[in-house]
Amino acid sequence: AVRAVAQNVAYEIPLLLTVLSVVMWSNSLQMSEIVASQSKVWHVFWMPVAALIFLICATAETNRAPFDIPEAESELVAGFHTEYSGMRFALFFLAEYSNMLIVSAVATTLFFGGWKSFPGLGFLPVPGLIWFFAKTYTLIFVTMWIRWTFPRLRFDQLMNFCWKIMIPAALLHLIVYAGIIKLLS
């Protein structure tokens, strides 16, 4: 439990700092306004570092490999899932994948234009819901690909990566973009 709390608290800090930089850039807390601010250029192109930090931290928040320290299946057989079977076991996995869906949907809204089409493809008669789910499921695939590709980090590596790299990078990004916004206004 201590590992799970330490991981979640540590990775929420850079996650929130990147969301704050998007909110500052969009000048709104409303998701619809954030999407509207991406009508010409998505935030992922203006803020690629923030998008990368957000996706890494979101993966850590959903306890997906290589950040699945609380489960640690190789260390704890199947993690806490060993105590559950049948429908309860299925509900844990449903909750895990639902969490991944929600995080991908938020990332799509914040960085990938939400329900807007790809830049330059606005002439296609594709409904916004289709664009949104295509982007969301692409991010889910990327998250699953990361799980299949990278090995699990040790707990000390996970904490060092967050406190020594992710938080300073997110803070620096926030300060730089606050300066850019101040210069542009």
pLDDT per residue over 22-40, tens digit each?
999 999 999 999 999 998 8
pLDDT at 79: 57
DSSP H helices in the chain = 2-26, 31-36, 43-46, 48-61, 86-111, 128-149, 155-161, 167-184
Average per-residue pLDDT in the chain? Answer: 88
What pTM was estimated for this model as a whole?
0.87
What range does the domain containing 105 cover? 2-184
Total domains in the fold of the chain = 1
112, pLDDT greater than 80? yes
pLDDT bin (cut points 50, 70, 90) of residue 19 is: very high
Distance CA 25, CA 181 (A): 7
Judged by DSSP in three states, 39 sits in coil
pLDDT at 174: 97
pLDDT tens digits, residue range 64-103? Answer: 777 776 665 555 555 555 666 778 878 888 988 999 999 9
DSSP 77: E
Residue 84 backbone dihedrals phi, psi, to 5 degrees: -120, 150
Residue whose C-alpha is closest to residue 107's, from 66, 26, 51, 63 = 51
